[in-house]
Chain A
Amino acid sequence: MRLNDLPRGTDAVIDSVDDNGSPDPVAQRLRELGFVPGEAVRIVATAPLGGDPLAVRIGFTRFALRRTEAQRVCVHVAKAAA
């Protein structure tokens, strides 16, 4: 699943961040900001007028991402117990 498809408020874990063309400075920056495999993410808010951009929480930091940027991030939904 891609991060932009993740429902709001659902806990998920990052699988990978894919380059969209090369070099991809956006993907590079996402990785530097901590979007790396194994990190927990959650969408905490979606903006008015169409739900783009997304406010994403990763670790204790929040980032605003457009859906096209979030599309680079592959995630899977975390187990309910985790």
Chain B
Amino acid sequence: MTPLNIALVGNPNCGKTALFNLLTGSRQKVANYAGATVERKEGWFTTPAGRSVRLLDLPGAYSLNATSPDEAVTRDVCAGTYRGEAAPDLLVCVADATNLRLHLRFVLEMRSLGRPVVLALNMIDAAQRSGMEIDLPRLQAELGMPVVPTVGIKRNGARDLLARLDGVPPPVPTPLAPGTDLHAMVRQILADCVTHATPLSDRMEERLDRWVLHPVWGPVILLVLLFLMFQAVFAWAQPLMDGIDAGMGLLGEQVGRIMPDGVLRSLIVDGVIAGAGSVVTFLPQILILFAWILALEESGYLPRAAFLLDRLMSVAGLSGRSFIPLLSSFACAVPGIMATRTIQNPRDRLVTILVAPLMTCSARLPIYTLLIGAFIPHRNVAGFMNLQGLVLFGLYALGIISALVVARVMRWRNPDQREATLLMELPAYRLPNPRDLALGLWERARIFLMRVGTTIVSLTVLLWGLSSFPKPPAGAVGPAIDWSLAGRIGHIMLPVFAPLGFNWQICVALIPGLAAREVAVGALATVYSLGSGTDTDQAALQLGGMLPTHWSLPTALSLLAWYVYAPQCVATLAVIRRETGSWRVVALTAGYLFGLAYAAAFLTYHIARML
């Protein structure tokens, strides 16, 4: 039997994704819609009666009258006109039971599509708790479609919906007369079917917003949250990272002991284990960072942060809407740049894309962590702050300030008369749901480990090859790597980068860093591990302890400054090309980032040497 095609639709913040996670569990696939850069989430499940279902989680929309690429995808898929997407057999429209006044209007719009619709009245528990009474049979009759209560965050929350899917297929609703005043109709339906329509959460929102949106306390809370986030990334991850580090060291040692000396042992120990191992170590930090961003997003706090920062962003010529893509860019610029689709103003969107790579992505964390750990003393400042965490915070701040300046310059170069808009919902506060957080984190961890397993391992192996061959001639003096291809490439690049205080080993590491920034760490490990001879394989995994004997402090600081801007990330440039469809923008991004990186590293190196 062919699976039933169901599309989940609804307003943003209706709890649609929680319901999607509840139904499909981890049987999900995330990709893009053909010909668009809108995220496509699909999942599979089987109903209690054994019916297999293919579930599509459409982007949230306020109206079929689309104002963003996301909403356009939702409109076209629902209408069955999206090329390459099967028309859904059934639309499950999700509405937040505590916010029916807003959400029912969209539900009524669904009636005009000529497709069977079921309304999932989500968060029904929260509505009932606040004393709201909803007359389901009457609501069903007035809306002209079946209504089932659901609770996206409860284990059995989709039971009624599943039962409905197993029952008689719902009919196609009769379309409304054109020109019907949907708001008036919603008001009438609410008056008929809902009593005590004041949700309890409303009072909580009122009380929380008094602090969170306060002109003074609001920014203080925001700063404290961001500061805690970065302290957590640095401090909480340490024990886990030490554990992974020790494990990898042990693995390298064991494998080194079992395998006979030779090229293969060098490949496995110096190439794969040293290279990939030094990157895997950073998984805990990346996951902690993502956990914070996901939790802030789920809780409904992020749009409030955007509200607080709108004014500041408008100084740079952007709107608060740019804050969310830019915050995502702290995890990775690729999803960040994709998230700019929610910005309606084309110029704001372009500028946001251009500055997104300045946000310190998690791929830069391995390099920051390595260098800070090796060169900045672990010391308390003012009693409670950790100097290392403070330096990390400073690097992030430098990226943010640079982004604001660059955005401002771009706006000045390219003025736009169009009105800047914000218009953004501040959703109800919600306790982040552990399952949704876990699924989001699992997705991230999987992507990261896949990258380690594919791109990063192949690059480190390639680099190992370049660093190992050709072998030095018999009777040669000095480390073998000096004779290798990588050594030669490094020496050729050296004149360009020597003014920044970089040595040729750093130059070599910059090359594979093009594919993924974090590879630079693995590359350094490989280069130094081979340079130091086969007896000290261990050294690669204690790279941090070894670097201070090879580099001066100005060199380390210069490399840190370089990585604040670091243009080299092919994935970011590729997504910019895809999102803007313009090589000119790609060249502009790469060019200005390279210029800034070079200038910043140059200044840092020379100032640090003078001090």
Contact = CB atoms under 8 A, between A and B. Distances in A.
Contact of B209 (A31, A33, A45, A65): A45
A69 B314 CA distance: 15
Contact of A61 (B63, B102, B312, B344): B102
Taking each of A25, A44, A60, which has the highest tally of chain B beta carbons within 10 Å of its own beta carbon?
A60
Which one of A26, A46, A47 has the greatest number of beta carbons of chain B within 10 Å? A47
A28 B319 CA distance: 20
Nearest to A52: B311
A59 B101 contact: yes
Interface string B427-468: 010000000000000000000000000000000000000000
Nearest to A55: B213
A60 B101 contact: yes
B310 A47 contact: yes
Given A48-B216, A59-B102, A61-B102, A32 B63 contact: yes
Contact of A53 (B99, B206, B422): B422
Contact of B423 (A44, A47, A60, A69): A69
A10 to B, nearest CB: 15
Contact of B62 (A33, A44, A49, A68): A33
The listed residue with most A CB atoms (<10 A of its CB), out of B65, B319, B344, B419, is: B419
Interface in B314-360: 314, 319-320, 344
A68 B421 CA distance: 8
Contacts of A46: 215
A30 B199 CA distance: 23
Interface residues of B, number: 43
A64 B306 contact: yes
A6 interface: no
B423 A34 contact: no
B199 to A, nearest CB: 6
A15 to B, nearest CB: 15
Interface string B407-424: 000000000000111111
B39 interface: no
B214 A63 contact: no
Contacts of B314: 52
Contact of B422 (A48, A61, A62, A66): A66
Contact of A60 (B98, B210, B320, B424): B98
B183 interface: yes
Contacts, number: 110
Interface in A13-65: 25-26, 28-34, 36, 44-53, 55, 59-65
A60 B99 contact: yes
A64 B105 contact: no
A62 B421 contact: no
B202 interface: yes
Given A32-B63, A44-B206, A64 B423 contact: yes
B422 A65 contact: yes
Contacts of A64: 303, 306-307, 310, 320, 422-426
Given A28-B65, A59-B101, A64-B320, A44 B209 contact: yes
Contacts of A59: 99, 101-102
A63 B423 contact: yes
Given A34-B105, A55-B209, A55-B307, A63 B425 contact: yes
Contacts of B422: 53, 64-66, 69
B205 interface: yes
A65 to B, nearest CB: 6
Given A53-B320, A60-B202, A64-B320, A45 B423 contact: no
A48 B303 contact: no
Given A55-B426, A60-B199, A36 B183 contact: yes
A53 B425 CA distance: 13
B67 interface: yes
Contacts of A36: 183
B307 A53 contact: yes
A26 B421 CA distance: 8
B575 interface: no
Nearest to A36: B183
Contacts of A65: 422-423
Nearest to B215: A48
B515 interface: no
Contacts of B544: none
Contacts of B428: 60
Nearest to A46: B215
A47 B101 contact: no
Nearest to A51: B215
B219 interface: yes
Please indicate which of the listed interface residues A30, A64, A68 has the most CB atoms of chain B within 10 Å of its own CB: A64
B308 interface: yes
Contacts of B99: 59-61
A61 to B, nearest CB: 5
Contacts of B420: 66, 68
Given A61-B101, A63-B424, A63-B426, A49 B312 contact: yes
Nearest to A59: B101
B425 A62 contact: yes
Contact of B67 (A29, A50, A60): A29
| 7 smallest beta-carbon distances between A and B, as pairs | A45-B213, A62-B426, A48-B215, A59-B101, A64-B307, A49-B311, A32-B63
22 contacts: A25-B67, A26-B421, A26-B423, A29-B67, A33-B62, A36-B183, A45-B209, A47-B215, A47-B307, A52-B311, A53-B307, A53-B422, A55-B307, A61-B99, A63-B424, A63-B426, A64-B306, A64-B320, A64-B423, A66-B310, A69-B422, A69-B423
Interface of A: 25-26, 28-34, 36, 44-53, 55, 59-66, 68-69
Given A53-B320, A60-B198, A64-B425, 12 more contacts: A45-B215, A47-B311, A48-B219, A49-B312, A53-B422, A59-B99, A60-B199, A62-B425, A64-B423, A64-B424, A66-B310, A66-B422
Interface of B: 62-63, 65, 67, 98-99, 101-102, 105, 183, 198-199, 202, 205-206, 209-210, 213-216, 218-219, 303, 306-308, 310-312, 314, 319-320, 344, 419-426, 428
